[in-house]
């Protein structure tokens, strides 16, 4: 599917979602609103919205900035971290340039140290993420981090939000998340009517949008998908092997894996990652009287490999395998992402033994040097399915 056919261009004429998101941010700046940069799915969008701030998802998925980063960072560090830092060093990420402050989180040691290197460039707040998420004190500690973040944002930008404003933002974002999942669920169909590129369009656009404007856009996109489904449209060849993606955040240059899957005849039906369904498939409890704790409870349920034990990931895999009915699962692990790499053994064993599905672990980075090897392995997997 080429760019002109992708979902938001079908819904209305205009630029691709990344450019549109930047345009949205610039429009909000003209209205006097402040922009805060985010890197991770643990950044509480609801709190950002309640304070009437504009979230900007910072650049992290290009190979072009890694050489610059390696002048400072180790060459054997995770490419996502190196790419993020390289964008900052080169001053080539428009979203970082627009951000007046940055929200960070302690999901891995490499990111923590990168945050130290950029801390002096603009205001930065690090949230200490409890990684023993099943311990009784984890929710108390993460609630405290949500409250501290609110204090940082209020002080930095001179804004305020009471519990009523936060509750409104929770309701608003829940509605947006429901719309996103309704769109992504069109891959549940026997013949999916959207592909991975459109999934990423939906996800990245939704992260940075809010309110009636973004919901209206999503509703138009949903109508396009519903029309496709009624017309018998199929993304890819009908009956193509259905592939589920799990593992590290994957987009930009790492999406080379997705391209190879489709070129080999497969169709991706679900993205189980922080650049996939994870930020959208859980709703926050409404009207609890303690919205900060409700936000904390929902975000602690994100089953990142930084969590230990990460039983939530296996439960989520069960749910998605039952729902999306993949014929195989591909686990994408970025070089030096030790959490996902070690966890892959348990995930693969679980998927093969409980669900009887083929499982392929891929370790890669943002370069093009392993395209041939990846193609051979993925083509072998697709051929083995035999649909």
Task: Name residue, tokens 């971290």.
Answer: 81
Domain for residue 368, yes or no?
Answer: no
Identify the pLDDT of residue 211. Answer: 72
Predicted pLDDT at 209: 76
Q: What are phi and psi of 315, to 5 degrees?
A: -65, -40
Residue 295 near residue 50, CB atoms below 8 Å = no
b/e string for 261-292 if b means 16 or more Cβ within 10 A? Answer: bbebbbbbbbbbbbbbbbbbbbbbeeeeeebb
Q: Is residue 373 part of a domain?
A: no
Q: What is the CATH number of the domain that holds 118?
A: 3.40.50.11890
Distance CA 281, CA 272 (A): 10
Domain total of the chain? 1
Give a yes or no: residue 53 inside a domain. yes
- Residue 314 Cα distances to 132, 139, 331, 355, angstroms: 16, 21, 13, 11
Residue 259 included in any domain: no
Range of the domain at 122: 15-161
Query: Residue 60 domain-assigned?
Result: yes
Please identify every stretch of the chain with a pLDDT value under 70, giving residue numbers as ranges: 1-17, 387
Chain segment 345-365, per-residue pLDDT in tens: 999 999 999 999 999 999 999
Residue 52 DSSP class: T
- The edge-to-edge listing of strands for the beta sheet with 54-57 is 54-57, 35-38, 101-105, 124-127
Tell me if 260 is assigned to some domain: no
DSSP for 76-118, please give it: TS-HHHHHHHHHHHHT--HHHHH-SEEEEE-SSHHHHHHHHHH
Residue 36 inside a domain? The answer is yes
Q: What is the pTM of this model?
A: 0.95
Q: Is the peptide bond before 264 cis (omega within 30 degrees of 0)?
A: no
């Amino acid at each position: 599917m080429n760019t002109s056919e992708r979902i938001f261009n079908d819904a209305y004429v205009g630029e691709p979602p990344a450019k549109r998101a930047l345009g949205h941010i610039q429009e909000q700046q003209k209205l006097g609103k402040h922009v805060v940069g985010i890197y991770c799915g643990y950044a509480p969008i609801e709190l950002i919205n309640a304070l009437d701030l504009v979230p900007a998802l910072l650049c992290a998925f290009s190979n072009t900035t890694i050489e610059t980063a390696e002048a400072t960072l180790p060459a054997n560090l995770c490419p996502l971290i190196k790419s993020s830092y390289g964008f900052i060093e080169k001053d080539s990420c428009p979203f970082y340039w627009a951000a007046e402050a940055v929200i960070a989180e302690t999901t891995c040691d490499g990111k923590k140290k990168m945050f130290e290197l950029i801390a002096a460039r603009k205001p930065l707040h690090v949230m200490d993420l409890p990684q023993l998420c099943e311990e009784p004190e984890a929710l108390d500690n993460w609630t405290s981090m949500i409250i501290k973040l609110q204090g940082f944002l209020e002080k930095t930008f001179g804004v305020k939000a009471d519990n009523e404003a936060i509750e409104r933002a929770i309701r608003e974002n829940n509605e947006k998340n429901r719309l996103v999942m309704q769109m992504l669920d069109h891959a549940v169909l026997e013949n999916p009517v959207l592909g991975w590129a459109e999934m990423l369009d939906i996800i990245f656009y939704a992260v940075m949008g809010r309110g009636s404007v973004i919901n209206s856009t999503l509703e138009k996109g949903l109508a396009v998908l519903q029309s496709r489904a009624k017309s018998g449209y199929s993304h890819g060849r009908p009956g193509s092997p259905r592939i589920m993606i799990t593992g590290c955040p994957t987009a930009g240059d790492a999406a080379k894996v997705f391209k190879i899957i489709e070129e080999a005849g497969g169709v991706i039906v679900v993205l189980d990652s922080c650049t996939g369904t994870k930020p959208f498939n859980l709703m926050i409890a409404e009207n609890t009287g303690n919205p900060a704790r409700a936000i904390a409870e929902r975000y602690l349920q994100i089953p990142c490999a930084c969590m230990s034990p990460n039983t939530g990931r296996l439960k989520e895999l069960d749910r998605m395998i039952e729902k999306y009915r993949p014929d195989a699962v591909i686990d994408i692990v970025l070089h030096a992402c030790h959490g996902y790499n070690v966890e892959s053994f348990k995930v693969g064993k679980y998927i093969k033994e409980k669900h009887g599905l083929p499982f392929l672990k891929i370790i890669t980075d943002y370069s093009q040097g392993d395209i041939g090897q990846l193609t051979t392995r993925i083509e072998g997997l697709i051929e083995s399915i035999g649909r």
